[in-house]
Amino acid sequence: MNLIRGFATTIKHVFEEPVTIQFPEEERPVRERFKGRHALKRYDNGLEKCIGCSLCAAACPADAIWVEAAENSDEARYSPGERYARTYEINMIRCIFCGYCEDACPTEAIVLEHEYRLSFNDRVDAVYTKDMLIDPVPPGGQDTPQVTEPGKFTRSIPEMKDPD
Amino acid sequence: MTDTVTITIDGQDFEVPKGMNLVDAAKLHGIGIPVFCYHPKLDPVGMCRMCLVELGNVAIDRTTGAPELDEQGNPVIRWFPKLQTACTQTVSQGMVLRTTSDMVVEGRENILEFLLTSHPLDCPVCDKGGECPLQNLTMAYGPGESRFIYDDKIRLAKHVPLGKLIYLDRERCIQCARCTRFCDEIVGDDVLAFHERGRRLQIVTISDPPFDTKFSGNTTDICPVGALTTTDFRFGARPWELTEVSTICPYCPVGCNLNASTRMDREFGGKAMIKRIMPRQNERVNEIWICDKGRFGHHHSRHEERLLAPLMRNKSGELVEVEWPAVYKAIAKQLKAHGDQAGFVGDSTLSNEDLWELRRLAELSGGSPRLGLWPATMSGGDVVAQVGVGSETRLQDLGPGSVILVMASDFEEEAPIWWLQVKQAADRGAKVVVANARPTKLDRYASAVIHYRYDEAVGVLNSFTAPLLSGDGQLGQGNGWGALQSDLQNAEVTHADTANLLASAENLVIFLGSEGLTLEQHAELMQAAANLLIVSGHVGRPNNGLIPVWPGANVQGAWDMGFSAEATADLLANPPALWVIGGADVAGEDIRMATALEQAEFVVVTAQFMTPTAAHADIVLPRQSFAERAGTYTNGLRRVQRFYPAQGPIGDALPDWKIFAHVSAQMGGPRPPVAAGTIFRDIAQRVERYIGMDYTRLAWFEPQFPDVGGDDLYYGGTAYSNYGGLGLQWPAEAEAEQPQFSVRPVRTAAPQTDGLTLVPVWVLFDRGHLFEKSELMHHRMPQPYAAFNPDDAARLGLTDGDRVTLAVEGHELTVTAQVGDDNPAGAVLLPRRLSGDATLSTPAACTVQKIESMQKVEG
């Protein structure tokens, strides 16, 4: 009897639609909070959100992030405030996709996106530089460095809501 | 009367020194009272109110004068009704403190809440973030949330340049006044001040040029927030990412202990580079201060013009790159061919190990080695060995009863941190006597100022010694006493008051420079100083003796290794056919040297850059900067101090010792040593003064008070705890149990002739081939000039700003004339190393010709 029940289950599955998908032609959508490859975000005007504070690197348990900062000026502005990331690198073989960097970021500049197709033939290729990580300039925005009005972007950290 | 009192802190009894304030007293026993405005090196002001404690004294019965006792027989404590600032209260017997009570905790919370009302929340971009006293103390004692309304925050300018080296962020400033008090109390430069009142209170610079002090960088260290940042480091790295490497400043005889904060950098090929230079606490040397030259003068270590490979002249006379083994062979061949016809010169930036290997090479070359040091401006290494200051001398111990004589030196330009310490000693009550041919900045803190003509220097010291020579003296016979006595019996006593002051001093320290003196005159001056110290009995104990203001970081070490300025002079007088020059830019600094090198048959130079000296050379060897290798320097107080490699090597450059050792090996010498420590072991076995020293012993350290750095950033700012070694001082001969003193009469210089004398002087921010590479300091470097006395200028028909030609020993120099009342008559003051043109290193007679107009020169 048990034998029949077992085969019945098997036969039932034969007629069901297969769960296998034909990657890479087909892709299964990931969950909203899936943690894939990082992206560096921009404000609507094109300025980079990243201020080069290196807190992501400090939070990183795998020591995968490398940040070097430099100073903004109104003639060549990358981000609001005084500081921006001159170098921003993430070593994707080291990264464990824990998302601590995202939690540590004071400007919500680094976000783990949904891209998970990461493969490399070389260790050096696994190091994603700032050019590779940064989002494209949004429509209506300007690429960095920008020439900006003096005194307009004096603050690195966006205004916080009144703590009530 | 005992020197300690007993106080009770949080129920525990402690013995503390009398007169100490409560913050220091608690700190001494490991109890932290948080502070912002208080700094252990500054006078307390009680401005920030962070150090509030509950304080009680033993109640005294006014009728009997005895302490009141309660029923149990314990003394009654009378508590202050309100919290007291611990920094402004000094300890007294029986005092009781509570530092953790509810009232104190609430007080601290309220102060922090208040300090943070307008402090910006930009810790992520702040250079201080991570080593910030405000951040740390807020975490430790802060209230967690604020009752103040966020929209009421005051917004102020965040990018205010105070000069070109320091930026001020007005929002971050918590008005502790550490920076203004540092400038007023420690430096005495009135350059920073408060402006406005109350919440509008802000720091402004009130000098022109702005922030005009040689010590500006120190304000960023002691700033308890990120309000002051340096141009050099701004956003260079986060503090927790930096690796601290102990090193020693390569510029002046003070030998400041430094920490090089290093970090890897993409722009430096992914290698570790020095991001900033910070002071390292050594209470025996620089305390916690450094000057701006030491702080910002590190850029030469990784400058793009660094020499990367050995260069050798080919048949057509061009310098071309070659491999190391080829140059070793070529040098060895030349040395063998020239035999004893070789001269060796070592620079003051060479470490003891470099100089030792250079000496070994010279010994292998045959003949008696001719070992010159550079700059060759000061004589008297033997005098220092005899009567140098006693071991464990601390300039910060000099106070009432001490006399400090500073002679023939523009002290602030030549040894800034000693200047700072002498100035503070004067503030504490030490008497400072300044003797020079012209006014210097130290004059304003001096009890007596003596201005003499340059040729009278020895006479001034003799006139101090002469009155002390009555009687047989304590030295007995056979040590030159009699000769000195008969020589000085008719000496004119010109400065009787000052002579008395020096003779009656409890402690006497003499700082001796060489301004306006030739090498022979300086040798006599050193002996005259030794005579004075020996005759007045100020030798052989701490805080007494001679400190030479040597013209470089390791001049003392060079003397110890057998190099001398006299040998350099001899090399100039009888030039060798073959020169081996270690590190020094002799041709760039001295026209006589340039001429000598031109006439030489073969010149070998180790250099960091293509200096004029290197351009003269037949073989140029790339040497490593102080930042890339290990070694030791011996400072003006004879303290041997270690430095460690901070950066990776650049190109094929090698440390000088390795280069010299490899050539020695080619000459049939021993196999090259593998590390600097091995050479130092060799030195310690063969140089008597260094016996018993080794790298491990030089690296010893002990807890120092005040305890700055480490976990207690709030206490002293970000100066660093010393884990790299406090160094060892070798004792002077006068400290022996039965010292053998010898005095001798000194020759006074022949009076100056009518003509003008060219007097080379030092300026701190010069264009020496290393410091020049720090481009951010260029604005502090004066334009080349020659300074004239108004009378001389009138006679020559010169006015301020005229172009003049100085003719000296067949060479001509063209400079801009500067006429000022402070300049001594009969002398033309010519700063060294201000232009690319070589000048002179020792005084010489000169003639001056005015250039009538620029067109004429071109025509």
Class of residue B88 by CB neighbours under 10 A (exposed 0-12, middle 13-18, buried 19+): middle
Retrieve residue B445's tokens. Answer: 């803190």
Which chain B residue has the Cα nearest residue A72? B235
Which chain A residue has the Cα nearest residue B121? A157
Most confident option among B201-205, B489-493, B692-696, B739-743? B692-696
Residue B471: per-residue pLDDT: 61
Looking at the fold, whether B389 and B526 belong to one and the same domain comes out as yes
HEC profile of B777-817: HHHHCCCCEEEECHHHHHHHCCCCCCEEEEEECCEEEEEEE
pLDDT tens, residue by residue, B551-597? 999 999 999 999 999 999 999 999 999 999 999 999 999 999 999 99
Topology given in CATH for the domain delimited by A31-133: Alpha-Beta Plaits (3.30.70)
What is the C-alpha to C-alpha distance for residues B506 and B504, in angstroms, rounded to an integer?
A: 6
Closest Cα to residue B735, out of B542, B508, B580? B542
pLDDT above 70: percentage of residues in chain B: 97
Q: Is residue B101 pLDDT above 80, yes or no?
A: yes
HEC profile of B584-641: CCHHHHEHHHHHHHHHCCEEEEEECCCCHHHHHCCEEEEECCHHHCCEEEECCCCEEE
Residue B669 structural domain = 311-378+555-689
- B121 chain-A contacts, CB cut-off 8 A: 157, 160
Looking at the fold, whether B537 and B399 belong to one and the same domain comes out as yes
Residue B729 domain flag: no
Q: Which long-range contacts (CB under 8 A, 24 or more apart) does B443-449 make?
A: B444/B188, B445/B188, B447/B501, B448/B495, B448/B497, B448/B498, B448/B501
Residue B475: per-residue pLDDT: 57
What is the C-alpha to C-alpha distance for residues B391 and B546, in angstroms, rounded to an integer?
A: 12
Residue B494: per-residue pLDDT: 83
Phi-psi region of B794 (alpha: psi -120 to 50; beta: other; left: phi over 0): alpha
Residues paired with residue B850 on neighbouring β-strands, in sequence order: B804
What is the overall mean pLDDT for chain A? 91
User: What DSSP string runs through B756-777?
Assistant: EEEEEE--SS---TTGGG-GGG
Residue B529 CB contacts under 8 Å (≥ 6 apart), including other chains: B383, B387, B407, B461, B510, B512, B546
Residue B476: per-residue pLDDT: 52
Q: What is the pTM of this model?
A: 0.94
Average pLDDT over residues B645-654: 93
Rounded to the nearest 10 degrees, the angle between the axes of helix B481-488 and helix B457-465 is 110
pLDDT tens, residue by residue, B256-301? 999 999 999 998 988 999 999 999 999 999 999 999 999 999 999 9
pLDDT bucket at B742, cuts 50 / 70 / 90 = confident
Residues paired with residue B805 on neighbouring β-strands, in sequence order: B814, B849
pLDDT bucket at B2, cuts 50 / 70 / 90 = low
Which chain B residue has the Cα nearest residue A70? B235
Residue A2 DSSP SS3: helix
Among the partner-chain residues B146, B159, B238, the one whose CB lies closest to the CB of A82 is B159
Residue A164: per-residue pLDDT: 38
Looking at the fold, whether B665 and B650 belong to one and the same domain comes out as yes
Looking at the fold, whether B387 and B344 belong to one and the same domain comes out as no
**Which of B121, B123, B125 to probe by mutation at the A interface, max A CB count within 10 Å?**
B125
Say whether A162 and B267 touch across the interface (CB within 8 A). no
- A50 chain-B contacts, CB cut-off 8 A: none
pLDDT tens, residue by residue, A130-141? 999 999 999 988
Residue A163: per-residue pLDDT: 37
What are the CA-CA distances from residue B74 to residues A76, B77, B101, B693 (Å)?
72, 9, 21, 54
Upper half-sphere CA count for residue B498 (Cβ side, 13 Å): 23
CATH of the domain at B98: 3.10.20.740
Q: Is residue B665 pLDDT above 90, yes or no?
A: yes
Looking at the fold, whether B461 and B524 belong to one and the same domain comes out as yes
Length of chain B in terms of residues written: 859
Buried b (16+ CB within 10 A) or exposed e, B639-670: bbbbbbbbbbebeebbbbbbbbbbbbbbbebe
CATH of the domain at B449: 3.40.228.10
- How many A/B residue pairs have CB atoms within 8 Å? 57
Of B65, B93, B115, the residue that ends a domain is B115
What is the C-alpha to C-alpha distance for residues B206 and B801, in angstroms, rounded to an integer?
A: 27
- A77 chain-B contacts, CB cut-off 8 A: none
**Which of A82, A101, A105, A155 to probe by mutation at the B interface, max B CB count within 10 Å?**
A82
Comparison of pLDDT for B199 and B646, the residue scoring more: B646
User: What DSSP string runs through B324-348?
Assistant: HHHHHHHHHHHHHHHTT-EEEEEET
Looking at the fold, whether B655 and B783 belong to one and the same domain comes out as no
CB atoms closer than 10 angstroms to residue B448:
17
pLDDT tens, residue by residue, B150-182? 888 888 888 999 999 999 999 999 999 999 999
CB atoms closer than 10 angstroms to residue B316:
6
Say whether A55 and B240 touch across the interface (CB within 8 A). no
pLDDT bucket at A9, cuts 50 / 70 / 90 = very high
CATH of the domain at B787: 2.40.40.20
pLDDT bucket at B441, cuts 50 / 70 / 90 = very high
- Our CA-based measurement puts residue B313 at a distance from the nearest CA of chain A, in whole angstroms, of 41
Residue B853: per-residue pLDDT: 65
Of B274, B302, B330, the residue that ends a domain is B302
Looking at the fold, whether B393 and B532 belong to one and the same domain comes out as yes
Strands B631-634 and B619-622: unpaired
CB B101 within 8 A of CB B109: no
How many Å separate Cα A27 from the centre of its chain? 20
Taking the domains of chain A in order of start, what are their residue ranges? 31-133
Residue A161: per-residue pLDDT: 43
User: What DSSP string runs through B135-157?
Assistant: HHHHHHH--SS--S-GGG-----
Residue B150: per-residue pLDDT: 81
Residue B206 domain flag: yes
Which residues of A make CB contacts under 8 Å with B? 51-55, 57-58, 68-71, 81-83, 86-87, 106-107, 154-157, 160, 162-163
Class of residue B476 by CB neighbours under 10 A (exposed 0-12, middle 13-18, buried 19+): exposed
Looking at the fold, whether B372 and B385 belong to one and the same domain comes out as no
pLDDT bucket at B824, cuts 50 / 70 / 90 = very high
Looking at the fold, whether B238 and B365 belong to one and the same domain comes out as no
What is the C-alpha to C-alpha distance for residues B420 and B425, in angstroms, rounded to an integer?
A: 9
pLDDT tens, residue by residue, B7-42? 999 999 999 999 999 999 999 998 999 999 999 999
Which chain B residue has the Cα nearest residue A151? B157
Residue B856: per-residue pLDDT: 47
Which chain B residue has the Cα nearest residue A89? B266
Q: What is the four-CA torsion angle of B565, B570, B576, B579, rounded to 10 degrees? A: 10
What are the CA-CA distances from residue B297 to residues B375, B403, B771, B775, B781 (Å)?
19, 33, 5, 9, 12
Residue B712 domain flag: no
Say whether B234 and A155 touch across the interface (CB within 8 A). no
Residue B670, preceding peptide bond in cis (omega within 30° of 0): no
Q: Is residue A87 pLDDT above 60, yes or no?
A: yes
What is the C-alpha to C-alpha distance for residues B690 and B351, in angstroms, rounded to an integer?
A: 14
Looking at the fold, whether B566 and B526 belong to one and the same domain comes out as no
Closest Cα to residue B33, out of B90, B126, B108, B130? B108
Say whether B238 and A71 touch across the interface (CB within 8 A). no
Residues paired with residue B57 on neighbouring β-strands, in sequence order: B78
Average pLDDT over residues B62-83: 88
Cα-Cα end-to-end distance for chain A = 69
CB atoms closer than 10 angstroms to residue B750:
8
Residue B821 domain flag: yes
Looking at the fold, whether B325 and B408 belong to one and the same domain comes out as no
Give the 3-state secondary structure percentages of chain A, helix then strand then coil, rounded to 5. 20, 20, 65
Phi-psi region of B766 (alpha: psi -120 to 50; beta: other; left: phi over 0): beta
pLDDT tens, residue by residue, A41-64? 999 999 999 999 999 999 999 999
Retrieve residue A113's tokens. Answer: 């996106």
Ordered strands of the B631-634 beta sheet? B631-634, B639-643, B728-729
What is the C-alpha to C-alpha distance for residues B784 and B731, in angstroms, rounded to an integer?
A: 41
pLDDT tens, residue by residue, B452-487? 999 889 999 999 998 888 765 555 545 787 888 888
Residue at B688: amino acid letter: E
Strands B844-850 and B803-808: antiparallel
Backbone angles phi, psi at B749, to 5 degrees: -70, 150
Of B662, B689, B716, the residue that ends a domain is B689
How many structural domains is chain B composed of?
Answer: 5
Residue B367: per-residue pLDDT: 80
Residue B695 domain flag: no
Strands B448-451 and B371-374: unpaired
Retrieve residue B421's tokens. Answer: 């310490």
What are the CA-CA distances from residue B578 to residues B347, B432, B604, B824 (Å)?
17, 47, 8, 40
Looking at the fold, whether B393 and B287 belong to one and the same domain comes out as no
Q: Is residue A162 pLDDT above 50, yes or no?
A: no
Residue B128 domain flag: no
What is the overall mean pLDDT for chain B? 91
pLDDT tens, residue by residue, B362-419? 999 988 899 999 999 999 999 999 999 999 999 999 999 999 999 999 999 999 999 9
Q: Is residue B73 pLDDT above 90, yes or no?
A: no
pLDDT tens, residue by residue, B183-211? 999 999 889 999 988 878 889 999 888 99
Buried b (16+ CB within 10 A) or exposed e, B509-527: bbbbbbbbbbbebbbbbbb
